């Protein structure tokens, strides 16, 4: 395993967040249907601001040279932190894997079993995870290029379908709609958790990196919301995976088929995120990581995925944005904040 030392936060943040949001957008179905475009936009701005705030404790802790798995912590505290982080990564992996296989089987290959798709994907993820976080972040540069191309095609191809209706520009949705959207747009905060864990040795983690990354994510979100509202319109509300619909609507004259680019992007995004989460899980329990842990976590993810496929209550549990955000806040904000207080006291003494 070569996960150590060279975790490059800059390119990771710039790309992972952008690519990840394409996956998060798969679950656009969880956005309240009655809220208008402007209402969603406001929720998005608030959500991304929340994500930025979640990043701050890790950055401060990093500036002070601290680490969430610091050796100076008591053993019990380290084990507890490792358990919480592993649980968070495990949950995040399921949170992304399940909607992906679900969309895959509903939209692309209706006759396949989601478990087979998950198994094949997970085996590929193990290969990547064994190569280490640094290699995966290098891969993310190509994914970023693919994301740019896909988005360009998706938005460019949807231009001809744009229809502006005055009703979409009003503010509809109410507080419950806003809060639901806000929660949904807080999901990119999972990247902050990865940072809290993986950037243990990074020296180039600066404040401007999450700012730029979140701003770019915001632009992409806004574009997706705009095109879903004005190019796909009411049609999107009928469909479960609205960004997929957007990719289907996009066409250049007689040439359609942008959804295959979208499939490629979402596949690669899930592949990258799950691989990175596997790396992070191994790092949480063992600094050097090991093949045994990677295999064990993969088997656990697959087992949980199978359960989620056959048991609706397990599925609901693994696809709850509230739980994901809660875990992210706990691991990326609360634990590092406690660590900050702990180290400051240590310094004062």
Q: Which residues bind another protein (CB under 8 A)?
A: 6, 8, 11, 104, 106-113, 116, 119-121, 123-124, 126-128, 130-132, 135-136, 138-139, 141-142, 161, 163, 165, 167, 203-204, 232-235, 238-239, 244-245, 248-249, 251, 254-257, 260, 263-264, 267-268, 271-272, 275, 291
Closer residue to another protein, CB minimum distance, 248 or 315: 248
Q: How far is the CB of 249 from another protein (least distance, A)?
A: 6
Per-residue tokens: 56:
């701050």
Q: How far is the CB of 123 from another protein (least distance, A)?
A: 5
Q: How far is the CB of 74 from another protein (least distance, A)?
A: 33
Closer residue to another protein, CB minimum distance, 107 or 305: 107
Q: How far is the CB of 317 from another protein (least distance, A)?
A: 26
Q: How far is the CB of 248 from another protein (least distance, A)?
A: 6
Q: Give residue for tokens 């243990």.
A: 200
Closer residue to another protein, CB minimum distance, 11 or 78: 11
Q: Give residue for tokens 């957008």.
A: 25
Per-residue tokens: 229:
């509202």
Alpha-carbon distance of 283 to 290, in angstroms, equals 9
Per-residue tokens: 105:
């089987």
Q: Give residue for tokens 């249907």.
A: 33
Closer residue to another protein, CB minimum distance, 164 or 175: 164
Closer residue to another protein, CB minimum distance, 120 or 207: 120
Q: Note whether 62 and 340 are within 8 A (CB).
A: no
Q: How far is the CB of 257 from another protein (least distance, A)?
A: 5
Give the residue from 17, 345, 329 showing the smallest Cα distance to 196: 329
Q: How far is the CB of 304 from another protein (least distance, A)?
A: 18
Closer residue to another protein, CB minimum distance, 78 or 106: 106
Q: How far is the CB of 76 from another protein (least distance, A)?
A: 33
> Residue ranges of the alpha helices (H) in the chain?
9-24, 37-63, 75-103, 114-131, 133-158, 166-169, 174-185, 190-198, 208-227, 234-238, 242-249, 258-285, 291-310, 312-318, 321-328, 335-348
Closer residue to another protein, CB minimum distance, 231 or 329: 231
Q: How far is the CB of 343 from another protein (least distance, A)?
A: 25
Q: Who contacts 298 (Cβ-Cβ below 8 Å, separation ≥6)? A: 122, 123, 125, 126, 129, 278
Q: Give residue for tokens 């475009």.
A: 37
Alpha-carbon distance of 119 to 77, in angstroms, equals 34
Q: What does the DSSP assignment read for 210-265?
A: HHHHHHHHHHHHHHHHHHIIIIITHHHHHSS-HHHHHHHH--BTTB--HHHHHHHH
Closer residue to another protein, CB minimum distance, 13 or 245: 245
Closer residue to another protein, CB minimum distance, 78 or 138: 138
């Amino acid at each position: 395993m070569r996960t150590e030392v060279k975790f490059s936060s800059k390119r990771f943040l710039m790309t992972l967040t952008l690519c990840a949001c394409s996956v998060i957008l798969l679950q656009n179905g969880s956005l309240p249907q009655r809220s208008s475009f402007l209402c969603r936009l406001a929720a998005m701005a608030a959500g991304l601001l929340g994500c930025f705030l979640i990043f701050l404790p890790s950055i401060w802790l990093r500036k002070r040279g601290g680490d969430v798995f610091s050796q100076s912590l008591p053993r019990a505290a380290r084990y507890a932190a490792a358990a919480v982080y592993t649980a968070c990564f495990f949950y995040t992996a399921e949170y992304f894997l399940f909607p992906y296989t679900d969309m895959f089987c509903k939209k692309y290959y209706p006759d396949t079993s989601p478990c087979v798709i998950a198994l094949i994907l997970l085996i590929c993820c193990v290969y990547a995870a064994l190569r280490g976080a640094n290699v995966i972040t290098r891969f993310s540069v190509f994914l970023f290029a693919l994301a740019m191309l896909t988005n360009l095609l998706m938005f460019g191809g949807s231009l001809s379908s744009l229809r502006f209706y005055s009703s979409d520009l009003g503010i509809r949705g109410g507080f419950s709609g806003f809060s639901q959207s806000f929660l949904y747009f807080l999901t990119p905060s999972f990247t902050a958790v990865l940072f809290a864990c993986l950037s243990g040795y990074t020296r180039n983690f600066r404040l401007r990196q999450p700012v730029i990354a979140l701003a770019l994510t915001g632009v992409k979100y806004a574009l997706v919301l705009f095109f879903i509202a004005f190019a796909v319109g009411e049609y999107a509300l009928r469909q479960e995976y609205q960004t997929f619909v957007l990719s289907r609507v996009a066409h250049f004259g007689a040439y359609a088929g942008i959804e295959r680019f979208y499939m490629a992007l979402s596949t690669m995004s899930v592949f990258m995120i799950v691989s990175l989460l596997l790396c992070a899980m191994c790092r949480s329990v063992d600094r050097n990581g090991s093949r045994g842990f990677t295999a064990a976590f993969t088997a656990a993810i697959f087992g949980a995925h199978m359960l989620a496929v056959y048991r609706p209550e397990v599925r609901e549990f693994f696809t709850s944005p509230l739980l994901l955000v809660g875990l992210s806040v706990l691991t990326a904000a609360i634990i590092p904040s406690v660590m900050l207080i702990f180290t400051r006291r240590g310094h004062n003494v």
